[in-house]
Amino acid sequence: MNPTYKSITQSFTLRSGIQLKNRVIMAPMTHSSSLQDGGVSEEELAYYKERSGGVGAVITASSHVSLEGIAFRNEMGADDDSLIHGLKRLSRTIQAQGAKAILQIYDAGRMSSPELIDGKQPASASGIASERPGSVVPREMTEEEITTKILAFGEATRRAIVAGFDGVEIQGANTYLLQQFFSPHSNRRSDRWGGTMEKRMTFPLAVIESVKQSIAEHAKAAFIIGYRVSPEEKETPGITMEDTLQLVDALAEQELDYIHVSVRGFWDGSIRDEADMTSRVLLIQERVGHRVPVIGVGGLSLPEDVKQALDTGVPLVALAHAIIMEPKWVEKLLNDQENEIRTTLPRTAQEELVLPDPLWNMLINVPGWFPVV
């Protein structure tokens, strides 16, 4: 291996004591390739197997914690014990290749739609629709529903433990329910779950506590807890960078194994203020990186990109598009084949890249998303 890239292949020990064999993580990516009931399919097992040999950890696509919180057709579920068998097959498939297996758990909140949840109206912190075209106005969750949802995250964690996963990532980003409670756009409540900045943190922090209690009760070995954040929202009112810096301060006190920053580009500046070009990832690293490991992501394709990101002090990097196009990214780096790392998506490569039909169709048919050749 080229010694220039030594930093990429160094091991890293998380707060829980679990060691990652290197600094590269497969990012969570929607693939819409599970069974209709949320069970794990043969196609997604093959997809993950192909990509789990080199990376230090695999974070799965989002798995819903309740049937009212589904955002995509054929997405993975962690909402019922009947799904544990398939989840166990998935964790073992990932681990057999040498990576740690982390199940991302989430609820879509207002980003669901009636056709995905048996005609029901989606529920959120408040009855405020997303500004995305075609969004449905959700109903405001009751106190009882909030309590039930918090417990659902703990139950999903229990299923992940029983299924043999090494950890869970709490999806607090990408406009979904936890972000909705934190956002002043989607949370207009005046009770203990909303209003001030501190009250808007109450639901996410309660979910973390539910997950931690489940781990304390059910895990017999070290177990990873990660949390994903989106630094800003374009909406007014919406989440600002200062809001997020206060949130990550609170998260840093929760004994998490990492904070995963969800951005389009590692080096990207503000989506609210074009004049502010400071990397959102680096702002979070500067704020809390000395207290909790930060995972950076976004637009990193080649080893020199990843090395440059790690050189900033961010200890872990997640690859998304790069791992789709080059499942053997780490293996090629280790074998002095970095010049052979694929950075485009050939229209003839579906079978070679072991990509399920639903994911392949999205990759090919969404203009500008992937460099299709």
Are the CB atoms for 205 and 237 separated by under 8 Å? no
How many residues are recorded in the chain?
373
Does residue 372 form part of some domain?
Answer: no
3-state class percentages of the chain: helix first, strand second, coil last, to nearest 5: 40, 15, 50
Give the span between the Cα atoms of 314 and 122, in whole angstroms. Answer: 37
pLDDT band at 281; cut points 50, 70, 90: very high
Report yes or no on 242 lying in a domain.
yes
- Answer whether residue 371 is part of any domain: no
Please state the rounded mean pLDDT for residues 210-224: 98
Residue 302 confidence (pLDDT): 97
State the amino acid at position 224 in one-letter form.
I
Residue 297 lies in a domain: yes
Structural domain total, the chain: 1
Q: Which of 339, 46, 312, 100 is nearest to 225 (CA)?
A: 100
* Mean pLDDT of the region 244-265: 98
pLDDT 10s digits, 220-249: 999 999 999 999 999 999 999 999 999 999
Q: Express each pLDDT in 315-326 by its tens digit.
A: 999 999 999 999
**What is the predicted pLDDT for the residue at 207?**
99
Q: Where in the sequence is the domain holding 8, given as residue range(s)?
A: 3-365
CATH assignment at residue 328: 3.20.20.70
pLDDT of residue 114: 97
DSSP, collapsed to helix, strand or coil, labels residue 115 as helix
Residues 151-172 have a mean pLDDT of 99
